[in-house]
């Protein structure tokens, strides 16, 4: 079996995001970038399935500028076999990303596509769902446990009320939750070996899909500053303040 895993380069989750003065976006120059955290879980799960002997090949794909290749290299360093870098110097919305991934799926013919549940930069939570719809494949989103069977997968999903178990026939699209596993660190020898693994290059606008963005970003603003809290002496004071000042009870 073969897995295609989608990995996106985003601003590192530890970085304090700074909005540009003209409101046109956020600062990315000299800012630490990393793999989108749930995409590390998607890669880790693929590698575990390969180690279990059920999967033969893992192909890691990213769509982004030249530096996005680092994201693919990282996936190669933890166990992916091959990489694909679809080059685009401009931001592409989830719809365009899903269309590009569909093209890659048609070429690579994987049994499963693993993605993160959500990218922490745009917070869209759309790409996996759109890709599944376009391919007409079953989808299991927010996966926190994956059990691969012969022609299907049993997935435990995180939902508002708790956990839900579903079974999807292969081929299928799986989006991964942070609770799915503990991503491993790449060892130095594996980082060195990953440099020799092949990465195919393509250009997004040459793939023959319409990747025009549909959403126009008008302005990016800092969230309003929160006022400092106060300490209350006892429950009675708390209740009184909630009733008379905040007027929420
Ligand atoms: P989103 O729908 O933007 O929240 O992204 C969900 C998931 O789609 C991410 O966790 C990635 O696995 C995948 N994805 C989104 N954008 C890209 C990209 N530019 N390159 C590779 N994978 C992506």
From residue 118, give the alpha-carbon distance in Å to each of 45, 47, 66, 196.
16, 20, 22, 30
Atom number of ligand 1 nearest to Cα 86: 20
Instruction: State yes or no: pLDDT of 133 exceeds 90.
Output: yes
Atom number of ligand 1 nearest to Cα 130: 2
Q: pTM for the full model?
A: 0.91
Residues with CB under 6 A from ligand 1: 6-8, 36, 38-39, 62-64, 94, 97, 115-116, 118-119, 122, 124-128
Q: Which fold has domain 2-244?
A: Rossmann fold (3.40.50)
Tens digits of residue pLDDT in 105-124:
999 999 999 999 999 999 99
Tens digits of residue pLDDT in 19-40:
999 999 999 989 999 999 999 9
What percent of the chain lies above the pLDDT cut of 90?
93
Instruction: Give CA–CA dist 59/84, Å, rounded.
Output: 7
Instruction: Give CA–CA dist 2/46, Å, rounded.
Output: 9
The answer to whether 46 touches 58, Cβ cutoff 8 Å, is yes
Instruction: Give CA–CA dist 65/63, Å, rounded.
Output: 7
Atom number of ligand 1 nearest to Cα 129: 2
Instruction: Give CA–CA dist 210/54, Å, rounded.
Output: 36
């Amino acid at each position: 079996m073969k897995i295609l895993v989608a990995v996106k380069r985003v601003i590192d989750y530890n970085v304090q995001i700074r909005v540009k003065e003209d409101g046109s976006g956020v600062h990315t120059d000299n800012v630490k970038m990393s793999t989108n955290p749930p995409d590390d879980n998607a890669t880790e799960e693929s590698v575990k399935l390969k180690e279990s002997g059920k999967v033969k090949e893992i192909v890691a794909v990213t769509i982004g500028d030249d530096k996005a290749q680092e994201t693919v290299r990282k996936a190669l360093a933890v166990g992916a076999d091959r990489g694909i870098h679809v080059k685009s110097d401009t931001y592409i919305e989830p719809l365009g990303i899903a269309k590009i991934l569909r093209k890659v799926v048609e070429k690579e013919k994987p049994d499963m596509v693993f993605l993160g549940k959500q990218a922490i930069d745009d917070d869209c939570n759309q790409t996996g769902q759109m890709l599944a719809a376009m391919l007409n494949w079953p989808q299991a989103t927010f996966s926190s446990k994956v059990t691969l069977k012969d022609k299907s997968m049993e997935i435990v999903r995180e939902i508002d009320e708790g956990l839900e178990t579903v079974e999807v026939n292969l081929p299928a699209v799986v989006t991964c939750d942070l609770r799915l596993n503990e991503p491993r660190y790449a060892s130095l020898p594996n980082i060195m070996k990953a440099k020799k693994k092949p990465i195919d290059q393509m250009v997004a606008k040459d793939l023959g899909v319409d990747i025009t963005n549909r959403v126009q970003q008008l302005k990016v603003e800092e969230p309003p500053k929160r006022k400092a809290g106060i300490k209350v002496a006892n429950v009675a004071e708390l209740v009184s303040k909630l009733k008379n000042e905040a007027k929420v009870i």
